[in-house]
């Protein structure tokens, strides 16, 4: 993992200096030539800026020696005006190009951050809280973007000014450059002090902002619970506490800035005094002209601005770097799939040896009956060995799960509420990473969870999310197969009907059918269906059962069977309780065994009869 510093507590990781620099360098690929041109333009425009102090010194000498006339003044003024124009134009071009590169790279980073955020292991995001993630893709991006106007001129032009001006001072008379150099330790000490304190203060400020974002988000998400339990006052106090935390950290950060100011003022006074004294001594001993001393003072005055600006930029830079390292910390987390790939590589190798698509039709009996490792002779779609899982700091939810699903077969997972069915489905789908054991699944696995999300957009966009190449004919066929052709009648726009937020509202059943059609178009090797419970015996439930069967045909499938009618049609049934597999077998076998499944079936049947008699 390319992340230098691990997460603090449960926060998402923050990238170290090397990882940050490496990622920025990688992102700058394609812009490096432009960056070199920007550097050259910066040096040229600052060299032009040296002309006015030299010209003024020249004028002072001419006036002092009585050789200056109006023509001299006009010539010097013209040269100064021209150099000012050239310098300003050069600086503007330099900054414009540097800004463009900066924002292009930042946009690429943000894009990577957002796409990576979608693929992160869910347990990491849940543990850190989505507020942390949101803060990194909003507050931190803003902090880095806002730094541009200050950081870019400093890093491109200011550094050049310092180098060029010091060279100018030395060329004039070396004691001038030496006088300024003697004061440099004051700036160096100010910088050292600041670098020690600054990053810590800014990181604390950003962390406080993340905590506040998380608190506000939770209050909004749990709005119904907050109202239902009269928790408004409690949530209000929690948000207030975190907001005050942000205020405290912000005050600390601004105090550090003021203290930096004081140190810079001291450096300014000392450097002006030093060059003035040296100038006086040199002129007194006839080693420099008054014009030369004037040029030296003007060069130092010109230098002070950039030196201060550089230190102020260090301030903004620190703040931006703190944000940048938080953004890159997210970008460098291995995705759930990458983490899983390294974990299940060995398992995949085993399965590759067994793959035998031609023999798939004969494997039903071996479903969900794990044998000794390597004993299965058939193509296996899913294999779990000793899988364990728990949420954040919670108790164990899955414990020692072993499971084999031959390719093309359908397994139902049943059990009481809270048994761990949904969690097991999420672990198999790769949404959650197991704490122990191994999971092997096909590369193309798709899951329909209980909360089906309808994305804001057209029906076509919703359906082709995972199958961008699907034609309208494919889409219509998928809707027909899942019994969802009615969706085309929602409006005259058919597939162009806008659904989701601010679009045509879909019922829960329609949303589920949309999800099933989407899955059909995605055509995964393994489909995991964990649909929300539909009232047994209702037209809605029967329709969904038929759609689910159509979707599973011809591929491996796992059904979290909230309705036991779904389980009865599967090749094999896995019964779970308290995070463990307690029974497996076909519907008939489990009824004969007269265990937990038989009892669940009896209760289910009784419920069906009561519903039918109403």
Ligand X SMILES: Nc1ncnc2c1ncn2[C@@H]1O[C@H](COP(=O)(O)OP(=O)(O)OP(=O)(O)O)[C@@H](O)[C@H]1O
Q: Residue written as tokens 């197991």?
A: 434
Q: How far is the CB of 118 from ligand X (least distance, A)?
A: 18
Is 394 a residue that touches ligand X (CB under 6 A)?
yes
Nearer to ligand X, 17 or 418 (CB): 418
One of 421, 433, 572, 587 touching ligand X (CB under 6 A): 421
Quick one: which of 52, 347, 408, 420 contacts ligand X (CB under 6 A)? 420
Phi-psi region of 500 (alpha: psi -120 to 50; beta: other; left: phi over 0): left
434 binding ligand X? (CB under 6 A): no
Query: Which one, 312 or 391, has the nearer CB to ligand X?
Result: 391
Write the DSSP assignment of 454-477 as a string of letters. Answer: PPSEEHHHHHTTT-TT--HHHHHH
CB atoms within 10 A of CB 321: 21
Stretch that binds ligand X, among 188-196, 340-348, 356-364, 412-420 (CB under 6 A): 412-420
Tell whether residue 427 is a contact of ligand X (CB under 6 A).
no
Q: Which is nearer to ligand X, 20 or 422 (CB)?
A: 422
DSSP lists the bridge partners of residue 576 as: 581
Degrees, nearest 5: CA angle 562-566-570: 125
**418, 456, 535, 610: which one binds ligand X (CB under 6 A):** 418
397 binds ligand X per the rule CB under 6 A: yes
- To ligand X, the closest distance from the beta carbon of 416 in angstroms equals 7
3-class SS of residue 574: strand
CB of 530 to ligand X, least distance (A): 8
Q: Is 309 or 423 the residue whose CB approaches ligand X more closely?
A: 423
Q: What is the β-pairing status of strands 436-440 and 380-390?
A: antiparallel
Contact 128, 51 (CB under 8 A): no
Say whether residue 393 binds ligand X (CB under 6 A).
no
> Which of 165, 380, 422, 556: binder of ligand X (CB under 6 A)?
422
Closest approach, Cβ 234 to ligand X, in A, equals 21
d(CA 405, CA 556): 8
Choice from 94, 423, 449, 497 touching ligand X (CB under 6 A)? 423
Give least dist CB 394 to ligand X, A: 5
Q: Which of residues 548-577 bind ligand X (CB under 6 A)?
A: none
Contact 556, 445 (CB under 8 A): no
Q: Is the Cα dihedral 365, 369, 371, 376 positive or negative? A: positive
Q: How far is the CB of 382 from ligand X (least distance, A)?
A: 17
Please list, in sequence order, all residues whose beta carbon lies within 8 angstroms of the beta carbon of residue 200, skipping any fewer than 6 positions away. none
DSSP 3-state of 295: helix
Report in angstroms how near the CB of residue 324 gets to ligand X at its nearest: 31
- Specify whether the CB–CB gap between 356 and 413 falls below 8 A: no
Q: How many residues bind ligand X (CB under 6 A)?
A: 11
CB-wise, 140 or 399, nearer to ligand X? 399
Give the Cα separation of 383 and 368 in Å (integer). 9
For binding to ligand X (CB under 6 A), which residues are involved? 391, 394, 397, 415, 417-423
């Amino acid at each position: 993992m390319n992340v230098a510093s691990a997460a603090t507590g449960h926060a998402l990781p923050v990238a170290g200096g090397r990882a940050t620099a490496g990622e920025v360098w990688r992102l700058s690929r394609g812009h490096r030539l432009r960056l070199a041109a920007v550097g050259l333009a910066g040096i040229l425009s600052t060299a032009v800026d040296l002309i006015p102090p030299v010209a003024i010194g020249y004028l002072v000498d001419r006036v002092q020696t009585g050789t200056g006339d109006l023509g001299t003044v006009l010539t010097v003024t013209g040269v100064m005006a021209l150099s000012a124009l050239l310098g300003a134009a050069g600086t503007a071009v330099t900054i414009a190009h540097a800004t463009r590169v900066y924002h292009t790279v930042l946009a690429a980073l943000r894009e990577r951050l957002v796409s990576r955020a979608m693929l992160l292991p869910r347990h990491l995001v849940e543990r850190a809280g989505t507020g942390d993630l949101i803060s990194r893709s909003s507050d931190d991006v803003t902090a880095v973007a806002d730094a541009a106007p200050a950081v870019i001129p400093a890093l491109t032009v200011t550094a050049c000014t310092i180098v060029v001006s010091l060279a100018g001072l030395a060329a004039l008379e070396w004691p001038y450059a030496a006088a300024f150099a003697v004061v440099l330790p004051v700036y160096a000490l100010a910088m050292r002090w600041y670098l020690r304190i600054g990053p810590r203060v800014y990181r604390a400020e950003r962390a406080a902002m993340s905590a506040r974002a998380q608190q506000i988000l939770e209050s909004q998400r749990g709005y119904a619970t907050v109202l239902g339990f009269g928790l408004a006052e409690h949530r209000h106090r929690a948000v207030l506490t975190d907001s005050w935390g942000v205020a405290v950290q912000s005050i600390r950060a601004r105090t550090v800035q003021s203290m930096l100011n004081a140190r810079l003022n001291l450096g300014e006074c000392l450097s002006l005094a030093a060059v003035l004294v040296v100038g006086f001594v040199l002129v007194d001993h006839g080693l420099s002209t008054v014009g030369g001393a004037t040029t030296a003072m003007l060069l130092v005055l010109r230098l002070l601005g950039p030196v201060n600006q550089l230190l102020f930029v260090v301030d903004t830079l620190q703040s931006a770097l703190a944000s940048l390292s938080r953004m890159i910390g997210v970008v460098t987390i291995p995705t759930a799939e990458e983490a899983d790939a390294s974990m299940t590589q060995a398992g995949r190798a085993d399965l590759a040896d067994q793959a035998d698509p031609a023999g798939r039709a004969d494997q039903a009996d071996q479903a969900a009956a794990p044998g000794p490792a390597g004993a299965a002779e058939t193509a296996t779609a899913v294999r779990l060995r000793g899988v364990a899982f728990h949420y954040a700091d919670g108790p164990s939810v899955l414990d020692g799960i072993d499971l084999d699903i031959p390719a093309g077969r359908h397994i139902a997972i049943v059990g009481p509420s809270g048994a761990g069915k949904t969690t097991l489905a999420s672990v198999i789908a790769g949404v959650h990473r197991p704490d122990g054991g191994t999971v092997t699944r096909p590369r193309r696995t798709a899951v329909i969870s209980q909360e089906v999300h309808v994305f804001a957009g057209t029906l076509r966009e919703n359906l082709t999310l995972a199958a961008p190449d699907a034609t309208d004919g494919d889409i219509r066929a998928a809707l027909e197969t899942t019994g969802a052709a009615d969706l085309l009648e929602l409006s005259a726009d058919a597939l162009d009907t806008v659904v989701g937020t601010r679009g045509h509202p879909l019922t829960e059943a329609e949303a589920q059918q949309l999800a099933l059609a989407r899955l059909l178009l995605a055509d995964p090797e393994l489909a995991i269906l964990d649909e929300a419970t539909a009232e047994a015996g209702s037209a809605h439930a029967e329709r969904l059962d038929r759609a689910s069967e159509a979707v599973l045909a011809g591929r491996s499938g796992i059904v979290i069977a909230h309705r036991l009618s779904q389980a009865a049609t599967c090749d094999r049934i896995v019964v779970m309780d308290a995070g463990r597999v307690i029974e497996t077998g076909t519907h008939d076998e489990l009824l004969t065994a007269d265990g937990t499944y038989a009892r669940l079936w009896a209760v289910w049947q009784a419920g069906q009869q009561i519903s039918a008699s109403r």
